[in-house]
Amino acid sequence: MDKLPASDFRSGYVAVMGRPNVGKSTLLNALLGQKIAAVSPRPQTTRRQQLGILTMETAQIVFVDTPGVHKPYHKLGEVMNESAEEALQNADLILFVADASQAPDEEDYLLAGLVNKLKRPVPVILVMNKSDLVGPVDLDVHQAAIVELLPNCLPVQVSAAQKTNLDGLMQAVLSRLPKGAPLFPEDQVTDLYEREIAADLIREAALIHLREEVPHGISVRIDEYTEREETGAYIAATLFVEKESHKPIVIGQGGAMLKKIGSAARVEIEKMTGRKVYLQLRIKVQKNWRDDEKSLNNFGYRKP
Ligand code: GDP
Ligand code: MG
């Protein structure tokens, strides 16, 4: 393909939104071809606004992975809604991701409400994900119900997990991206420091291995992240739990659970960084960290 004149280059911010568990992180990872956003079988692993940057010959897409919007029943919920709204206001294009195998629910309505209430109209692509889980008739019914909520959207049906029709989605995105010069250097894939991604990967490993036993009550702080020429990276991190009674669950019999979480997280961090990692985990109790504004700041859920 001939190189486009610089004046035809396209670039922009693409906000990825959708209720928890519809596959936003899976989609972002599939589009970017590497593991950046934390993917989990349980909702709400992605807590921060994250960028994934895809640079091509003719365009640069900067994806913003917004946390799911849901009813704010405690402060963490409010913070998540705020950052979702912020991502939308600054977007050039919105990817509204929905679960094609289910009829839209209350949360989809809430999200669509957010989009419709934006002061500046932003083009919307409706991504009907998980198309592998549903027949064509039901898919059409579910899609029509969401199109009714987002009258000007362009629907595209994909399966992020099976990488179906991602080309079609990319074409739709590229055709709606504004003209402009690249926003970031072309070798940059994310604006998050590696240590923040590492913290997300550790939290993800903990959630996967603990399942329902410590519900949502884990936060991760990276205490040290140092490069060692010969041995790779040394990472020390603290897992915070809300209750004293959660501590032995996270540690496990003779430290077995902590070891499992540590080695699962280490494997993922090594994949992300492409080098060896030595990971050391500690546990601390910090009561009610989710309702405490100050700890939310400390854990990086709000920009300083
Ligand atoms: P998020 O909360 O929106 O970021 O959702 P995740 O990306 O973490 O995905 C939630 C769950 O749905 C995970 O178990 C994924 O493997 C699964 N998932 C994501 N996309 C698809 C898909 O296209 N098809 C199927 N069958 N499962 C998917
Ligand atoms: Mg996610």
Is the distance from the beta carbon of residue 43 to the nearest atom of ligand 1 less than 6 Å?
yes
Distance between Cα 42 and ligand 1 center (Å)? 9
User: In the prediction, which pLDDT does 39 show?
Assistant: 45
- Residue/partner pairs of 40-43 with CB below 8 Å, 24 or more apart: 40/204, 40/207, 40/208, 41/208, 42/207, 42/208, 42/211, 43/68
Separation CA 211–CA 29 (nearest Å)? 23
Given the CA of residue 65, which atom of ligand 1 is nearest to it? 4
Contact 235, 223 (CB under 8 A): no
Is the distance from the beta carbon of residue 163 to the nearest atom of ligand 1 less than 6 Å?
no
6-176 is classed CATH 3.40.50.300: yes
Is the distance from the beta carbon of residue 132 to the nearest atom of ligand 1 less than 6 Å?
yes
Task: Give the global pTM.
Answer: 0.64
194-298 is classed CATH 3.40.50.360: no
Residue intervals of the chain classified under CATH 3.30.300.20 are 194-298
For a mutational test of ligand 1's pocket, the pick from 39, 203, 204, i.e. the residue with the most ligand atoms closer than 8 A to its C-beta, is 39
Residue intervals of the chain classified under CATH 3.40.50.300 are 6-176
In tens, the pLDDT along 210-269 reads: 876 675 678 888 888 776 666 678 889 999 998 888 899 999 999 999 999 999 999 988
Could you state, in chain order, the average pLDDT of each consecutive group of 10 residues for the chain (304 residues)? 66 88 86 56 40 80 66 48 72 95 90 86 96 97 97 96 96 94 69 71 88 74 76 86 89 94 92 83 82 52 38
Please give the backbone phi and psi of residue 92, each rounded to the nearest 5 degrees, phi first.
-90, -20
Is the distance from the beta carbon of residue 123 to the nearest atom of ligand 1 less than 6 Å?
no
Contact 156, 125 (CB under 8 A): yes
